[in-house]
């Protein structure tokens, strides 16, 4: 069974939402990411998204864009990230989702990219700017290699598209909470529960909410009605703001423990 599916089976059995966290792979270096992933898993993350550094991350806000640029300036490459995942698989079975852009995939070739994902230990793939209609080969290779293509639904997605996207996604559906780019926000949209409900009515896949979730309070609120909560930019910023490597690991773990506690107690 794909690790993502197993994670959601566990959270459903526990009667709670899943906590998914995002870090940019290689920010500020690959060794930091290698230390972060096991710490985040131990702190309560159910799934971890690894961002592929990209020079034109159009779906990301300033925080994640800056993290991508730091990784790229440090010379981080996709090949090195796949090697990192292989190392992580020696110490952790946490589900890992690779999050990137079409160019990351097309530069290597769709089939070779997915084959490398599977061989290294990646469980899912999010290609932010690649509609499923444009990637039939990618979908076929993902199915053959048991790498789940995870698709996005936005507040502007019409009902018929929500149905089609749900039919082509596996693992979970990524519900974008707001129109715009990633980044911490002070308030959640008032109609978010309605959007999640619309998606849940047409798909049995877990619906996970991301973009803008930045506090334990927000995570707990979403965990009351969604199947999963995704937190990225705030975690990336806390790692970057730390004064040392040890402080960064400690700050990341403490933040994820707070998020995990909020998510786990939301349906108390």
Which residues are designated catalytic?
49, 60
215 DSSP assignment = S
Alpha-carbon span 27 to 252, nearest angstrom? 13
CA distance 198 to 163: 10
- Distance between CA atoms of 85 and 57, rounded to whole angstroms? 22
Take residue 133 and report the two structure tokens written for it. 């209609």
Distance CA 82, CA 218 (A): 32
Q: Which three-class secondary structure state does DSSP give residue 264?
A: helix
Virtual torsion, Cα 158, 201, 188, 160, nearest 10 deg: -10
Assign 146 to helix, strand or coil: coil
Beta strands in the chain (DSSP E): 18-24, 47-51, 96-100, 124-127, 148-149, 152-153, 173-176, 207-210, 228-231
Angle at 10 between CA 32 and CA 143, to 5 degrees: 75
DSSP-assigned beta bridge partners for residue 231: 21
Residues forming beta bridges with residue 166, ordered by sequence position: none
Contact 148, 115 (CB under 8 A): no
């Amino acid at each position: 069974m794909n690790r993502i599916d197993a994670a959601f089976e566990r959270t459903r059995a526990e009667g709670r939402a899943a906590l998914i966290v995002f870090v940019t792979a290689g920010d500020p270096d690959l060794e930091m990411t290698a230390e972060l992933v096991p710490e985040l898993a131990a702190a309560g993350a159910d799934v971890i998204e690894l961002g592929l550094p990209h020079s034109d991350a159009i779906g990301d806000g300033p925080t994640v864009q800056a993290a991508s640029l730091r990784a790229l300036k440090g010379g981080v490459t996709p090949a090195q990230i796949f090697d990192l995942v292989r190392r992580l698989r020696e110490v952790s079975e946490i589900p890992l989702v690779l999050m990137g852009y079409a160019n990351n995939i097309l530069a290597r070739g769709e089939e070779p990219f997915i084959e490398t994902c599977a061989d290294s230990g990646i469980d899912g793939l999010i290609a932010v700017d690649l509609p499923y209609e444009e990637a039939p080969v990618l979908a076929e290779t993902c199915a053959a290699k048991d790498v789940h293509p995870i698709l996005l639904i936005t507040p502007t997605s019409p009902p018929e598209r929500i149905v089609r996207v749900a039919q082509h996604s596996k693992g979970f559906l990524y519900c974008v909470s707001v129109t715009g780019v990633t980044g911490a926000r002070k308030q959640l949209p008032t109609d978010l529960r309605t959007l999640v409900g619309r998606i849940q009515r047409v798909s049995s896949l877990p619906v996970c909410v991301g973009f803008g979730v930045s506090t334990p309070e927000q995570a707990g609120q979403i965990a009351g009605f969604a199947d999963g909560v995704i937190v990225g930019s705030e975690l990336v910023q806390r790692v970057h703001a730390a004064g040392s490597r040890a402080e960064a690991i400690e700050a990341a773990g403490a933040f994820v423990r707070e998020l995990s506690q909020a998510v786990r107690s939301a349906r108390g």
